[in-house]
Structures are given as structure tokens and as C-alpha cells.
Structure 1
């Protein structure tokens, strides 16, 4: 098992508590790392780690979260049991973390007694054993092979997605975006959730699971169709255009068929330039995908904008960002929620806003949950905010009514 924490006392105490621990007749080896970067090195050298106990806040406020994504996405390891421990619950609220990330547990450090730590470890090792058994592996000993590229869980979800009809399978919500200087709604983000046997799945989970071109293009066409339909409806009801942001499409922008679909939909919609906005991850926008620069240039020429999502939560190269500048940067909610009560988070938020201003990029604060947070980002010069404190998510059909009556409070 791997323990990742920047507090030496945590390592010492954990080793003392877990000394001599065995599972099904095998001794448990404890590896230690005092940073996410060191943990990545250990993960590269040990492919048979069954359990990772991760601190959330280390070299950065979200170092533990980024490490979870490294394990699940970059390493494609779905068997390893991941348990987060934190001494600062306000930085990463349990509800957000459990729903958004593939982890197996979340605990406050103050909650974990010696007996509780034993129980967490034994339970996690059982979960790892069962996961490996289901995948045709035997036991926990030895160095496991690298996770296969088409794991059964992802293939099963991909097969289910291939058989779905988005018209019946997608629950769509609309999240207004509010200009902080004027308190006017200037954009809407479409937020889809797919109804599957695993429950309601967000776009990020669906995008990680699609494996065949036909499913990808069907979903791309569906999202583009929804954006154009609702964009026309909202413009007609309000008498002015709104930016309509959609996920998933931008992730496949380097694909020629996706690029063609975006350009075709934009021309056919008759919507003003600047209406359609594609939410794009750092990996898709700043990666090494062949043709991404040409694709970005083509969609921009057609009046489509790009928003880099989760800004600040990933390791980003400013040199690469400067070479392919997005139109908007969405500041991750980790740096938004509770910002007025955390000086370190406040400083980071100010830095992200300043960077966007330096690059002449529109900044968007995601997850604004209180009036105080909205006021802070307005004062600091952030352009746009979205979240319950500004405008709660609603059904797309209710957006016109929201636009007519405005938001509940003024900052």
C-alpha cells in the first residue's frame, strides 16, 4: 500500500499502527511518499499497489485530487483502492469529491483512530482482491501487468452507451453564467447526465468511456443539436444572443469528423458568432493531438469560442498555454468555494485572475456558492461567475423565464 502525506508525523504514526499487519497470510508492505510528485515515481516503479492513502492538500491545495486523476486516467488503473484523508475539509468538500472522482473513501484525519485505520486498510485490500478476481487475476502477490487499455468496466459502459438514445437517456440541465460587473446573465452552460445502469453519469464519465467512433459522433451531434436548438430558443425569447457552452465536443475536436460536424452545425444554425462555446480540457487543448491547432483556428474562424475548464487544478505549462490561448478560462471550484475564509486560496484565485487578464482571456469562476464569494470575484476583476449564489441550474425550458425575471439578489 502507498501512503502519501506531507506531514512526517502521519507517516510515523501510520507505520507504528500498521506494523506487522498482514492480509490473508501475506505481509502488507507500506510505501511512503511526502508529495504527489514522489508518489508518481513510486507508482511508475510499483504496478502492484493495492491501496493508496492520499492526503488532499500537499504541494498544492488539490495535489491529492490530481493524483487520483493520474491513477485513474493516465495510468488507467481502476482496481487500486483510493482513500483520501484530509485535515482541511473546507478545501475539498466530501460531497463534491465523492461524486466527481473515482475514490473508495474519504475521511478526516481527526476521525481516524488506530482501529479505524486497520479497518480501512483491510476493507480496501478485500476490495482490491475482489476487483482483481473479477478481472481474471489471482491473488495480491507479485508484480501485476499494466492495466489493459480496454478494461471490462469501461467496455461494459461503452457498450451500454452505444445502445442508448440520447433523446430518452439524457437529463439536461442549464447553468446560467452571470457577468459579475452587471449581474446580467450572458451565457448558459448545458450540463447533461446520462441515465445508465450505474446511475446518472456526468459528461466527463461518458467521455472517458466512449470507445467507438459511431458512439462518439452520435453524442457529438446530439450535443451540437441541443446547443443550436436552445441557442435559437433563448435568443428568440430574450431578443439577444447568449453564449451556449457544451462539454464533450471539444474533447474530440482533433478528429476530422467532429470538426466537420461543428462547422456544419454552426453554419446551419444561423446563430450569431460567439454563440457556441466548447468546453475543453487541458489534455485536449494543449496536448499533442495531431491537427488540434488547425482545428482551433477553423472553429474560431467560424465564430466558435473555446473555454479551458478546471483552470488551476492541473499542472499547466504557461508556455504551451500562450501558444494556444483559449477564449475563456474556467477557474476550478477548488479555488472558488470558501475563498473568503482561506487566505491561501484567496491568493491563488487572485493569481489565476491576474494571469487571465495578462493573456486577455475571459475568466469564469465556477461554483460560486455564497454572496461573499461572488463579491470577492467581482472586486478582483473576474469577468463571469456561475453557481447557486448567482443563478441556480434549471431545466433548459425554464431559462427564458429566468432571464425575464432576473436573479434573486444583487451584489
Structure 2
């Protein structure tokens, strides 16, 4: 049967029956020793000693503490105590020769040392050795106790002719004070105060009391009942050994969480009493012997010095805490760089003296390119590691007086002040771009990331927040210029930013409001001239902004994440429309396909495969009817993640296309790894073929290469018959472009669906 006892941390600890039995039997035996018949005293004492030895063996074996060495020291000390107790009984009965009468007292000293060693190990294991407040408070109480013990109990009775026994026994209370100080350190230190801890501290207090009574009786010849002394020392033995039976004994050798407590009233009164009373008594009591006065003075001086140290440490600790608090407010916790608040304060301070000192304040606003990809691919811990590495590299590139700050996410700002003619900001921006070409050595290996930088400058009267905003605006301009560049702010950028924000706000909710439309451009089989399928293209007509070019709204949709919803809509709508056209053409017509662009974010989203499967099932179409177009650059951003999605789609039977081939990486090794069946040549390479243009050798090479790899080729942007004829001669499979039809609404493409190829569009 087990009882449950609540600890001061709120966790329930079961109290074993063995522990309660130990305390119950020990209490009964102590009562017998104090109030029972004389003949029962010796058996009671023997049983108490036996119970203690059993407890100190059973407890550590049962509860298995992390470090069992303190309990082994207690066990050894217990044997010393048992031997000393038995020798005292023999000595009191006259069974020891005169030359061995000091042996029981001498053997007590190793026991005390072992108990002190036990407490020292526990303090170290609990990480209490650096707790200044507990250490000083315990020392104060110990010094006060030593002072009172000396003043009232030892000094008045010590004669110049002390015998050896008297001298040893007079020292016991002083030795006890040292052990008591260690016990108080445990009690006052950090961490939970569990029952086992209270028992051990109480045992030290009882030990001090018992030794003090023994000293008064044996050394100073004060009339103290012997049974009271024996009971006190045996109670100490019961508590010290019994603590090992309580489950909380494990916490005494485990690192403790710091528990910050206000100085309690009891602790304050205890400290105050131990300081005030000795000092007052020193001033009021008459002088004694020279030796007594010296000891009394030394103890008082130590008390005052300890109080002074506590005051100094407390003040320093408060000042340190204030500095830490201030730093947490003004510095980024991850990189320890100044944050936006401190950056603003610094720039405002510079602005105040910019006119007088003819300074130009410059801000470089840095944003890591595709940082989200790193977080998504390797996790936030690697992302944080990269941010710390970036912070270190930026700090290495600036002057001592410049400020490198992190203002959020993957955004950093470098602030500097210099004479206007030095072009310091531009020079630093160019140097930083070059520095980011070097890989960062992280735990996963070398990682390369580029950076986009916006530069803003202002002379006298610069407002910090406006300058940060301008640098941010310039950074977005750098992003739109292709990333891995820097851009200087000019006033025209404000209008561009306002237009971008207005467009972004209008784009939100466009799918729900039905503002998007799917346009389709025919894809023609060159060999037969027949319709092979359509490419679906997204168009947006805003009630406020009118028709918005995809060149304008697609990049914004990709940056904000709206492209995922918009891309899903386009895929479902395209598959639905293809299903209508196939049903309209009849079962014996040439099979058609629809080709849909897939954004980078969709490739990283695990739901794309499920979306494709649902769309095909809802419209009863085979997977071969769907082509998905991906860009080289989009795949290369996170090749391994993209391959997982692409392989799953290819296994399903969907045809994959590389779009705009030749404008990105164009690596044969990458193309070989990708499970694609179609390569689309970008219109920029097709524009001058058939006229001995410079791109004809490139197109020939691409056609030969893809044919060797078993891929079909679609040429985009075919606008003239000469281009068509040249591509047919070179063995190109499919074409699309204005020569045949522009991308249009389904209602305007009925001629293609009804097997009537419209007349070629005039070039």
C-alpha cells in the first residue's frame, strides 16, 4: 500500500510503505528510550541503529539516484556513528582502558567529514555552487550560530587547563556549524524543497543540538540528562538515513531548475537576527579573556564583511539583470544583433548631428533570396543557423562604428554614416553581394544563398522610419530586377510600391469573386497539322483595375502565396473544360490534352498529387490527357522535394513538361534526372529561326539532344510560316503561337474543337 504526497512543484510522489514504517518504528523506539523503563533503553538504541543501517542500504538500491556517491558517504558515516555509539556504551560501563577513552569521540570526526562531503556533492550535482545569495545567507546564519555558541556556551566555561577530552568535545559544536552551513545551502538554494531535503537539513540541526548538549555535559560539566543527548543524536541518525527511503531523494543529486523567489519574511528575520544580535552583544557585553575577545571580534568582522558582500552582490546582480533586460529589448535574441528599436534610435541620433558634421546616412536593407526554401527543406533549426552565420559575415564587413541589425525574419539592415562623396554604401553593397557568393558552412554542409539589397540615403533631417521604409522599397526593386543585385532608392519607387500594394489587395479574393478566366492556346502537331491540345493560361480582369497582365500579377501571387489557390483553380477549370471538349468531339476523334503551368509553391506542396487525381476523376479523364508544365528554375530551387512530387505524378501517368527550356539551368544532368516527356523551347530562341538567325544552331542542338533522350519538343511563339517550315524540317514535334491562334476564351475556339482549323493568323 502506497500513500501519495504532493510536492511543492505540484507533482504527486508516492510515499512507500517502507518509509512510513521506518518513521513509525523509529518514533516508537525514541519514545521508549526517553520515557520507557531503564532496561529497555539499550535494546531500543540497538534497534534504532539497526533500522538506520537497513534504511541507508535499502533506499539507494530502491530509488537508484543519478549519482549514488553521496549516499555511499552517508552509509559509511552511519557505520562510524554506530561504532562510536557502541564504544560510548562500553566506555560508560568502564569497559575501555583509559588510553582509549577518546576513541569514540575521535571516530566521530570522519563521520562529520563524510556528511559534509555528501552535501558538497549534492550542491554540485544540483548546480547550486553558483548561487551567491544562498551561499552568503547560509554563511551568515552559520557565523551567527557560531558566535552565539561561543559567547554563551563555550567561552564562559572554557578554562586555561582544558583536558584533551574537553578540548575535542568543545570543538564538536563548531564542526557542526560547518556541516549546518552546507545543509542550509541546500535548503536556501535553487530548486524544489522536497521531503528528503527537509529531513537531511533537520538532521543537521538535531546533530548540532545533540553535540551542543553533549559538550555542555561532558566538557563543561553542565547537568544535561544523558537520555536527552542520546535521543537527539539517534533522532539525527533516523532522519539522515530515513531520507534515503523517500523517493524524493533522487532530486538531491539532479540538476534543479532555477526558482527565483522573493526573500521570505522568515529568511529575512533569520538573517537579520544572526547579524544584529552578535553585533549588539559585542557592544553591550563586558570584555572577557584576550582569546575570547579576539574570537568574538573575528566572528563579528566576518559577519559584517559577509553582509557587505551580500549587498554588493545584490546590487551587481540587479544592475546585471537590468543590462540583460535592456539588451533583450534592444537586441535580437537569435543573432544578438541590434533590433529595429535600437536601429531607429541610432539613426535618429546620427540625424541629429548629420547637418553639423556634414554626414550622409545610408541604410542597406538586405533580404535573403528564397530563405523559405531553406526552412522548408532542412527545417527551422538550419534556417536559424544560417541567420546566425549571415549575422557574423555581415558584422565582419562593416566598420566599427556601423550598425548591423536584424529587424525580422530574414531581413537585415546595415546603417552607416559617411561624407556624401565617398559612395560608401554602394561599395559595401557590391562587397556584400560578392561575399554571399561564398557558401556558408552549416551543420548540413555548405549552403549558398544570394541576397537582394536596397540602398537608401539621407542627409540632415533624416527620419529613421522613413529611411528604413525607403531602403525596404529599394530592396523590393532589387528583387523584381532578378535578385542577387542591389538597387538605389529614388522617389519614383514610392509610386511603384503603391501600385504593387494596390494590385496585391485587388488580387486577394479574385478566385472567390470569379474574376479569373482560363484562356487556351492551341498546340499543333507539325507533321499532320492537326490539333494536339491546348495550353491553359490564367487571365485576370479586375472590376477596379481592368485587364491586368500576367507579367504583373503572377509574380505577386507567387511571392504572397496566393498562387497556390489560383493554380489549383486553373488546374480544375482546365481539366473540366478539356472534359467538355472531348465529349463534344466524340469518341473517335484524335485525343486531346491540356497543358497547365505549375508554380514552385505547388511543387513543394504535398497536396498537388491529390489535387491532380481528384480533378481527373471528377471529369473522367485519363492521366495522359493532362500535361503539367514546370520551369527549370523552379525545380532547381529545391530539386529533391520537387523530384518526389514529379515522380509521383509521372507514376500516375501525367505527362511532365519543361517550360521555357534554355532560359534557366539547361543542364543535361538535371534534364536526365527529371521524369519529363516534353521539352518546350522558349519563344526567344524561336523568333529568328528560318532566317539564318543566330539561334538556329542552339535550336538544332536542343532538338537533337531531346530526340536522343526520347523527349518530344514543343516550340513556343511561332508567328511566321518560315519559322513553322524550318522547325518542321528540323524534326520539331509540336508548335504553338500566333501563327495559329492567340490564347483565347473557350467560346472563341469552337472552330478547333469542330475539326475546322481556322485560317492562319496574318503575321
1:74 to 2:74 alignment: no
> Are the structure 2 counterparts of residues 312 and 229 from structure 1 closer, same or farther at C-alpha, using a change threshold of 3 Å?
same
1:307 to 2:657 alignment: yes
> Are the structure 2 counterparts of residues 216 and 171 from structure 1 closer, same or farther at C-alpha, using a change threshold of 3 Å?
closer
Correspondence list, 1:3-402, <5 A:
47=453, 72-75=481-484, 128-131=489-492, 157-165=503-511, 168-196=514-542, 200-203=547-550, 205-210=552-557, 211=559, 215-239=562-586, 240=589, 241-248=591-598, 252-289=602-639, 291-402=641-752
Name the SS of the counterpart of 2:565 in structure 1.
Answer: helix
Normalising to structure 1: TM-score of the pair?
0.62
Q: CA deviation at 1:184?
A: 0.5
Per-residue CA distance 1:293-316 (angstroms, 9 max, x = gap): 121121122222121111112232
Q: CA deviation at 1:290?
A: 5.0
Q: CA deviation at 1:199?
A: 5.2
Larger RCO (alpha carbons 8 Å, 6+ apart): 1
Given that 1:250 and 1:279 are in contact with CA atoms closer than 8 Å, whether structure 2 keeps it comes out as: no
Q: CA deviation at 1:381?
A: 0.5
Q: CA deviation at 1:329?
A: 1.0
User: Structure 2: how far apart are the matches of 1:289 and 1:153?
Assistant: 34
Name the SS of the counterpart of 2:607 in structure 1.
Answer: helix
> Are the structure 2 counterparts of residues 195 and 398 from structure 1 closer, same or farther at C-alpha, using a change threshold of 3 Å?
closer
User: Structure 1: how far apart are the matches of 2:478 and 2:756?
Assistant: 40
Normalising to structure 2: TM-score of the pair?
0.35
Give the aligned length: 298
> Are the structure 2 counterparts of residues 232 and 340 from structure 1 closer, same or farther at C-alpha, using a change threshold of 3 Å?
same
Structure with the higher strand share, 1 or 2: 1
Per-residue CA distance 1:270-294 (angstroms, 9 max, x = gap): 1123111112111223332553212
User: Structure 2: how far apart are the matches of 1:358 and 1:365?
Assistant: 17
> Are the structure 2 counterparts of residues 194 and 336 from structure 1 closer, same or farther at C-alpha, using a change threshold of 3 Å?
same
Which of the two has higher C-alpha Rg? 2
User: Structure 2: how far apart are the matches of 1:380 and 1:388?
Assistant: 20
> Are the structure 2 counterparts of residues 154 and 190 from structure 1 closer, same or farther at C-alpha, using a change threshold of 3 Å?
same
Given that 2:531 and 2:752 are in contact with CA atoms closer than 8 Å, whether structure 1 keeps it comes out as: no
> Are the structure 2 counterparts of residues 237 and 167 from structure 1 closer, same or farther at C-alpha, using a change threshold of 3 Å?
farther
User: Structure 1: how far apart are the matches of 2:597 and 2:635?
Assistant: 13
**Which residue in 1 is equivalent to 2:306?**
none
Name the SS of the counterpart of 2:534 in structure 1.
Answer: strand
Q: CA deviation at 1:322?
A: 0.8
Name the SS of the counterpart of 1:309 in structure 2.
Answer: strand
Q: CA deviation at 1:220?
A: 2.7
Given that 1:311 and 1:329 are in contact with CA atoms closer than 8 Å, whether structure 2 keeps it comes out as: yes
Given that 2:478 and 2:485 are in contact with CA atoms closer than 8 Å, whether structure 1 keeps it comes out as: no
Given that 1:285 and 1:308 are in contact with CA atoms closer than 8 Å, whether structure 2 keeps it comes out as: no
When the two chains are superposed, the root-mean-square deviation of aligned CA atoms in Å is 3.7
1:408 to 2:754 alignment: no
Runs (5+) with no aligned partner, structure 2: 1-419, 427-432, 438-450, 457-476
Q: CA deviation at 1:237?
A: 1.7
Name the SS of the counterpart of 1:344 in structure 2.
Answer: coil
Runs (5+) with no aligned partner, structure 1: 1-24, 32-39, 51-67, 81-127, 136-150
User: Structure 2: how far apart are the matches of 1:182 and 1:307?
Assistant: 22
User: Structure 1: how far apart are the matches of 2:485 and 2:505?
Assistant: 18
> Are the structure 2 counterparts of residues 230 and 393 from structure 1 closer, same or farther at C-alpha, using a change threshold of 3 Å?
same
Given that 1:190 and 1:227 are in contact with CA atoms closer than 8 Å, whether structure 2 keeps it comes out as: yes
User: Structure 1: how far apart are the matches of 2:501 and 2:612?
Assistant: 27
**Which residue in 1 is equivalent to 2:474?**
none
Given that 1:277 and 1:306 are in contact with CA atoms closer than 8 Å, whether structure 2 keeps it comes out as: yes
Given that 2:452 and 2:478 are in contact with CA atoms closer than 8 Å, whether structure 1 keeps it comes out as: no
**Which residue in 1 is equivalent to 2:181?**
none
Given that 2:752 and 2:758 are in contact with CA atoms closer than 8 Å, whether structure 1 keeps it comes out as: yes
> Are the structure 2 counterparts of residues 278 and 300 from structure 1 closer, same or farther at C-alpha, using a change threshold of 3 Å?
same
Given that 1:180 and 1:383 are in contact with CA atoms closer than 8 Å, whether structure 2 keeps it comes out as: yes
User: Structure 2: how far apart are the matches of 1:257 and 1:234?
Assistant: 27
Given that 1:180 and 1:382 are in contact with CA atoms closer than 8 Å, whether structure 2 keeps it comes out as: yes
Given that 2:522 and 2:533 are in contact with CA atoms closer than 8 Å, whether structure 1 keeps it comes out as: yes
Name the SS of the counterpart of 1:259 in structure 2.
Answer: helix
**Which residue in 2 is equivalent to 1:113?**
none
Per-residue CA distance 1:4-58 (angstroms, 9 max, x = gap): xxxxxxxxxxxxxxxxxxxxx97999x9xxxxxxxx86997995689xxxxxxxx
Given that 1:273 and 1:303 are in contact with CA atoms closer than 8 Å, whether structure 2 keeps it comes out as: yes
Given that 2:624 and 2:655 are in contact with CA atoms closer than 8 Å, whether structure 1 keeps it comes out as: yes
> Are the structure 2 counterparts of residues 209 and 329 from structure 1 closer, same or farther at C-alpha, using a change threshold of 3 Å?
same
> Are the structure 2 counterparts of residues 259 and 325 from structure 1 closer, same or farther at C-alpha, using a change threshold of 3 Å?
closer
Structure with the higher helix share, 1 or 2: 2
**Which residue in 1 is equivalent to 2:10?**
none
User: Structure 1: how far apart are the matches of 2:668 and 2:479?
Assistant: 20
> Are the structure 2 counterparts of residues 205 and 246 from structure 1 closer, same or farther at C-alpha, using a change threshold of 3 Å?
farther
User: Structure 2: how far apart are the matches of 1:328 and 1:193?
Assistant: 24
> Are the structure 2 counterparts of residues 248 and 46 from structure 1 closer, same or farther at C-alpha, using a change threshold of 3 Å?
closer
